[in-house]
Structures are given as structure tokens and as C-alpha cells.
A = this chain, B = another copy of it.
Amino acid sequence: MKQLPAALAPPRRVLLGPGPSEVAPSVQGALSHPTLGHLDPWLLAAMDEIRAMLRAALGASSDWTLAASGTGSSGMEAVLANVLEPGDSILVGTCGYFGARIAEIAERHGARVTRAEGEWGRALDPERVRAAAAGKRFQALAVVHAETSTGILQDLAPFRELAGELGALLLVDAVTSLGCVPLDCDAMGIDGLWSCTQKGLSCASGLAPLTLGERARGKVAERARPPSAWYLDLELLTRYWCGEHAYHHTISSNLLYGLHEALRLVLEEGLEPRFERHRRHGRALAAGLEAMGLELLAPEAERMPQLAAVRAPAGLEETRVRRRMLDEHGIEIGGGLGPLKGKLWRIGLMGAGSTPRNVLLALAALRCALAAEGFRPRGDPLEAAGAALVEAP
């Protein structure tokens, strides 16, 4: 090539979008620890610790708790491609972009998919999903716990009940919920679940924590043929991660270092204090946004605390506001996906990013960017947010 690019010196953004989220300094540093081989006994021992910490963070006693070597979406495909056989029926509750992704991936792997479609920006109504099932049997029922595209947090209990009625495994997308809101696979009766590293765990992306419970493992064991997805084959991944450590792929030790440290920080803080932190800062952010006269997409009772989906006021070019926040203040927030493209901002306070300082920073920068685009806020976001931050939980 004509001219060699210069060495990279990436800017330091504050990551307040839908992910990746802010990375804690010790996690960032861990990524540069000395690389180790994928069969090094030292690394395999560290992987055992990762599995133990993942089980604790997920409330999952299953041995089949590990991380696939890809982003959260690879975890989604891993669970679907392994649990479902061609011709199996799956009922997918969709009220956003990621529910739709579940349905698409399940279809690609040959499943017969019934979509129970809800409104984007509202939680799924379990009765509507029950009606879509129309009394038929399904091998699986899948829902998104925290729908990243709309800011909705889904109560899983009614879907556990429905899965029981349908004779279905309950599969859950926890990409945006792990590390931010309560999640207890055993207690909630979750049969299969996938997540990511770069949101609530505040690590670099590239690994997909997942777990399969006993019934889902049984379903995988009874397959007539292995899944087409060789790279994401959970029998092979389990043989590598657990037990005999049979070579499958060259796992990235550096990503594992980051995940190990990120999980340590989660458990050191404690799950309940961490969730309370997310709730407090989520409430404060919402109070500030609403004080400015902005409208959140989801009704209060259905919102997740770690990501606010905010309607862009009519007449504003939302990308200009985001670009200002990035260029003028070095702050990343997200835009809308699918039918919400151009209509939404998504502001995340996830993991290490969920701090009082970032509540203020997001509001202050958004206020400036909005003003520069001619939008006049109704009230003072910082006063409202400040008041919410000092409220008793």
C-alpha cells in the first residue's frame, strides 16, 4: 500500500449509549495482560473461576454456563441453533429489534416461528402472547428480558408460566440485563439464556456468556444431528470449557482476562447494591430528561433503569444532536433502530457507567446540544436529577 497508517491513538469517549458501556480501569488494563495459550493449565483454571463467577452472577447452577467466543448476538445464535432442531416450533415475543432478531435467527436454523408481536415501546402483554400460541405446543418460548431498542424491562414470571402451559423451554435474551437488574436463572425457571460482556458487565465486547439448564441440555443431547453452527456448537464448547478441555477453537485469553476482572467487580460490589445503583441513577436520568420536556418511550412501570429511550422532539434532526454530543463533548449516546430510526435517543447508564457524574454529564451535554439545535428545554434537568440523586431509595 502507498502509505502505512499511523499507530492508533483512540479518543477517550464517555460511553453512554446502548453499549459498549464504560469500562473500569482494571478491566481495561486486564485486556493487555500477557497472552496465554488456549490449553494452558493456568488459563483453564482462570476459566473455571469465570464459570463460577458467571454462575453466581446469573443465579444459574448449571454446569453448562460458559462464554461463547463472539459478541452477544453469537450467544443468541448459539442457544437457538443448539436448542432448536429443524422443524421445531418456537413462539417468540417481539416488541422491539432484538425480539425480531431472535425470530430471524430461529427461522434461519429451520425452526417454525410464531411471532407474538407487541408494541415497540411497551412491555409484552402475556395474554397476547398466550393468544398467539393458540393452544398449540411449542418446543421453546423466547423473550427479551431488557429490550435494548426500546428501553423496556420485561417481567419474566408470566412467561415462565406460559412456557409451562405450552410444554416449552423458556429462552431469555439477557444481553442488556446481566449486571444491571435482578436475574436469577434457577429461581426464575429460565432454561436457556445468553448475554454479552460490553453492557452491564462493562467489559470489552467479544464474549457471550450463556447458560443452559437441565431440560435444555437434555434437548440438545437428544438432537438427531448436530447443529449446523459448528463454531457455536455447545456440545463442543462444553467439552472445551468443562471436563476434558478438548480443543475446539483458540479462545482469546485477553478477552477472558477482561471478563474475569469485570465479573470480580460485579460480585465485589454485590448484586443487590449494583442493581440499586442502576435504579437510582436511572430514575435521576429520567427525572432530568422529563424536566427538560422530553418524553421517554416507555411508561415508567415498564422501563429498565440502565437505558433510557427518549423520543427526539419533532422537527429536530436527531443525528445532529448525537453528533454534537460526540464531537463537542466526547460522549456517545445511541439512536433508534428499525422503525425507531431517526426518532429516538438511547442513553445508557450501565455497569461502571452508572454513576452520579454520568447522570449529570449526559443531561448537561444533551441540554447543550439541544440548545444548539434550537430546542428550548422546559425546565432545569440538573435540578431535577440532583434532587432524585439524593432521594432515599
Contact = CB atoms under 8 A, between A and B. Distances in A.
Interface of A: 1, 4-5, 7-13, 15, 17, 19-20, 23, 26, 28-38, 40-43, 46, 49, 52-53, 55-56, 69-74, 77, 81, 104-105, 108-110, 196, 198, 204-206, 226-232, 247-255, 257-258, 260-261, 264, 267-268, 326, 332, 337
A258 B41 CA distance: 25
Q: Secondary structure at chain A's binding surface: helix, strand, loop or mixed?
A: loop
Given A40-B332, A206-B206, A229-B229, A10 B249 contact: no
A46 B8 contact: yes
Given A35-B204, A198-B250, A255-B252, A228 B5 contact: no
Pick the most buried of A23, A228, A267: most chain B CB atoms within 10 A of its CB.
A228
B337 A247 contact: yes
B10 A42 contact: yes
Given A46-B8, A108-B227, A230-B108, A249 B74 contact: yes
A62 to B, nearest CB: 15
15 contacts: A4-B268, A8-B30, A8-B260, A10-B257, A11-B34, A11-B42, A15-B36, A17-B37, A20-B253, A32-B32, A70-B70, A71-B251, A198-B250, A204-B253, A205-B251
A229 B74 CA distance: 10
Given A8-B46, A20-B38, A231 B232 contact: yes
Contact of A69 (B70, B226, B229, B267): B70
A250 B19 contact: yes
B37 A332 contact: yes
A74 B46 CA distance: 23
A85 to B, nearest CB: 12
Q: Top 3 A-B pairs ranked by shortest CB distance?
A: A206-B252, A32-B32, A5-B49
A71 B37 contact: no
A326 B40 contact: yes
Contacts of A43: 10
Contact of A228 (B81, B251, B267, B337): B81
B251 A77 contact: no
Contacts of A12: 34
Contacts of A73: 230-231, 248-250
